[in-house]
Every structure is written in C-alpha cells, then in structure tokens.
Amino acid sequence: MALITIGCIPIIVIGVIAMSNLQWKKNSGFDNKLQLDDPYLKSNALLSDVILNYRTVISFGEKNIDSVIKKYEYLLIEPASKRIRTAHIAGFFFGYSQAARMIFVGIVFYLGTIVARKMGYKGDKVFIAIWILFSCAFGAGSAMSNVPSVKKARESAEKIFDITDEKSTLDVRETTKEQLTEIKEGKIVFKDVDFKYPSRSTKIFNQFNMEIPATFKIALVGHSGCGKSTITNLLLRFYHTHAGKILIDDEPIENYNVGKLREQIGFVQQEPVLFNRTIKENVLYGNLDADNAKIRKVCEMANALTFIESNIEDLDKEKRI
Ligand SMILES: Nc1ncnc2c1ncn2[C@@H]1O[C@H](COP(=O)(O)OP(=O)(O)OP(=O)(O)O)[C@@H](O)[C@H]1O
Ligand SMILES: [Mg+2]
C-alpha cells in the first residue's frame, strides 16, 4: 500500500510546487524581476515622460493628447499579448495544482481498496497509511517549492554584499593626524584640472584654471551643462580629479580631512533633497548640535522663517531627531 502511495507522490509534489510558484509570481509582478527587455518598459517610459511634462503635452492641443494615447495603447499591445499567454499557462498550472490532490486521492484510494480487499487489510489501517504519506508528500512539495527562492535570495544577498564590501576610494571616515581640518582664509585655485564623471567618457574639464581670492563673492555663469555644479562637486570632494590640482589656501584639497572640509562649506543644492521628516529635523542634519535659536537664525537667513512659521510648523515645539 505504501509503495502505491509513494509511486503517486510525484503527482502531488508537482502540484504543490506549481501552486507555490504561481503565488510567488503573482506577488512579485509581471516577470518576477526587472528585465531590460521588460515589455512594460517602453510604455512606462512614455507615461512618466507625459506626466513629468504634462504642461508641454497639453500645450500642443487635443490632437497631441490623442496621438500620445494611441502611442501608449500601441505600446501596450505586446505586454497584453504576453500577459494573456502567461495567464493561459498560469491557468493550466493552477487547475493542475487544484486537481492534483483529488487525482492523488482518487488513484490511491481506488488502488488501496483493491489491495485491501485482496489482502484482507482493515480499512482504517489503509486510510492511516495513505493519509500519512499524503501529508508527507504535501510537506515535501511545499519545501521543494522554496528551493528557487533560496537561490534567488543568495544571488540578491551576493549583490548587496558586493556593494557593501566595495572599498571606497574616498572614505570620509578615514582620519589621520596629518590632515588639515580648518580652512583659514578660503582662497580657491583650480590648476590645469582634467575631469570626467566615472559613468561618462566626455571630459567636463580639460586643463581648467580658475582662481577665487579669499573673501570674494563670485558667480559662475555659463550655459546649462558647462560644469558649474561640477565645480562644487569637486570642491566637496564627491569625485577625484583626473589631472591637475585643486588648492584651498595653497594646500592641495587632498590634504584636508573630507568630513571637516564639508562641514565648513555651505552648499545649497540645485535640486534639493529633503528627508521625509519635519523641517526642523531637516535643518538639524546640517548640524546636530544646533540649538533652537540657531535653527531659527539659519531659517531666517534663508528667508524661510516667516513662511515656515506661518503655516507649516513651530520650530520651537517640534522635537529633535
Ligand atoms: N553625476 C553625473 N554623472 C555623469 N554626468 C554628469 C553627472 N552630473 C553632471 N553630469 C554631466 O556633466 C556635465 C556638467 O554638468 P553640471 O551639472 O556641472 O552642469 P551645470 O553647468 O551645473 O548645468 P546647469 O546650469 O543645468 O545646472 C553635463 O553634461 C551633465 O550632463
Ligand atoms: Mg548646475
């Protein structure tokens, strides 16, 4: 009897694996992972472009909107047909996984009855044997369905550890005694600086020279993309230069402690990043030790105090980080 039941176990194991895989796919989206040839990619890109530039899209009139909608529908044809095909396959396996238990029970009890009659076994003994093996098969199927997830988890963990283990070429936490900590006057010199961003081959600076005397207020003017923000990125040491030197008070910028250097340079980003916390907490990220008076002062300097206190939050009452 046990042999018959064991022989039928694959029916149920395959059913449970199919069922678990279906649930896994259903929970994790269309294709289980983001692929470059994801059929939704083009339509998503179009949609986000339209949302981001909705003023421009609308300004071109109704016809333009209609053509965008048509284009969007056209881009959805491929994903829709793929989705229908996947749904058919999924439907088949879902049906099979539901039917597997019944098929198993049907076969085993049918054969069990024949064997039990011929051998003269008692019905309850046959039932217990079948039920134990049925439960085992069900458990084995569930356990085996996790095998692909374990592999995926391992691959994902490897990627995360690759990132966390990568040694930074510019570790802000590294400190040595010889490093300078204070900018005394603030004279800045760029001398024959060559620079390109690691992700692009275009040179942003080619033998770039500039001198800003201490205490001078200057403005950098130039067309979009000429490298104004890049100058700030280099001064804050977000990147290494490829050639040439940047000097602060005639000392190469590499001789300064990066953390201390950044503490002494006020920097308002072109595209500000705000944390999803209170304004007070966002201000405190610049200086965790600042007291309420100082927080109010910087908000006043930024011309934001009246606006903040009129309708957003009371800086004195808000809690600290
Ligand atoms: N992180 C980055 N990775 C790769 N390329 C970048 C990066 N940041 C900027 N660039 C490119 O470097 C060039 C200079 O950019 P930068 O932001 O310094 O220009 P900008 O003068 O500040 O322009 P804007 O007036 O639009 O602010 C541009 O071509 C830009 O596309
Ligand atoms: Mg800029």
Residue nearest to atom 24 of ligand 1 (CA): 224
How far apart are the CA of 135 and the centre of ligand 1, in A? 62
Where does residue 132 fall: left (phi above 0), alpha (psi -120 to 50 degrees), or beta otherwise? Answer: alpha
What is the model's pLDDT at position 32? 45
Q: Is 41 exposed, middle or buried (0-12, 13-18, 19+ CB in 10 A)?
A: middle
The secondary structure of 68-97 as a DSSP string is HHHHHHHHHHHHHHHHHHHHHHHHHHHHHH
User: CA 150 to CA 178: how far, in whole Å?
Assistant: 48
pTM above 0.85, yes or no: no
**Which one of the ligands is nearest to 201 CA?**
1
Q: Which of 252, 241, 169 minimizes the C-alpha distance to 205?
A: 241
Closest CA to 321 of 280, 291, 292: 280
| Residue 177 pLDDT greater than 50, yes or no | yes
For the chain, give the longest Cα–Cα distance: 106
Give the pLDDT confidence of 88-146 residue by residue, as tens digits: 988 888 888 778 878 888 888 888 888 888 888 888 887 888 788 778 877 877 787 77
Query: By 3-state DSSP, what share of the chain in percent is helix, strand and coil, each rounded to 5?
Result: 60, 10, 35
- The rounded Å distance from CA 87 to ligand 2 centre is 48
pLDDT at residue 34 tops 50: no
Q: Measuring CA to CA, which residue among 302, 296, 294 is closest to residue 267?
A: 302
What is the pLDDT averaged over residues 212-232?
93
Residue nearest to atom 30 of ligand 1 (CA): 225
Sheet holding 243-248, edge to edge: 205-212, 188-195, 243-248, 251-252
| Residue type at 35 in one-letter notation | Q
pLDDT digits (tens, 9 = 90+) for 41-54: 888 888 988 888 88
The sign one gets for the Cα dihedral 303, 306, 311, 312 is: positive
Most confidently modeled range among 103-112, 256-265, 271-280: 256-265
Pocket test for ligand 1, best of 196, 208, 220, 224 (most atoms within 8 A of CB): 224
Which range, of 12-26, 81-95, 161-175, averages the lowest pLDDT?
A: 12-26
CA of 273 to the centre of ligand 1 (A): 17
- Percentage of the chain surpassing pLDDT 90? 29
- Angle in degrees, CA 242, 245, 249, rounded to 5: 150
For the record, the structure tokens of 109 come out as: 């009890």
Give the pLDDT confidence score for residue 144 in this predicted structure.
Answer: 77
Could you tell me the distance, in angstroms and rounded to a whole number, from the CA of residue 226 to the centre of ligand 2?
8
Q: Atom 13 of ligand 1 has which residue's CA nearest to it?
A: 225
- Which residues, judged by CB distance below 6 Å to any ligand atom, belong to the binding site of ligand 1? 197, 199-200, 204, 222, 224-230, 270
Distance 173 CA to ligand 2 centre (A): 27
* Interatomic CA distance for residues 123 and 116, integer angstroms: 7
**Residue burial 48-78, b: 16+ Cβ < 10 Å; e: rest:** eebeeeeeeeeeeeeeeeeebeeeeeebbee
Distance from Cα 193 to the centre of ligand 2, integer Å: 18
Domain boundaries, the chain: 2-162, 188-264, 274-321
- Helices 2-27 and 123-145: angle between axes, nearest 10 degrees: 30
Which ligand is nearest to the Cα of residue 221, counting in written order? 1
Nearest protein Cα to ligand 1, atom 17: 229
CB hemisphere CA count around 278 (13 angstroms): 16
Alpha carbons 149 and 153: distance in angstroms, whole number? 6
Atom of ligand 1 nearest to the CA of 226: 21
Point out the ligand nearest to the CA of residue 239.
1
When pLDDT is cut at 50, 70 and 90, the band that residue 28 belongs to is very low
pLDDT at 294 over 50: yes
Query: Letter for the amino acid at 273?
Result: V
Mean pLDDT computed over 245-257: 94
Determine the distance separating the centroid of ligand 1 and the alpha carbon of 192, expressed in angstroms: 19
- The token duo for 9 is 């176990």
Q: Which residue has the tokens 């205490």?
A: 215
Q: Whose CA is nearest to atom 29 of ligand 1?
A: 225
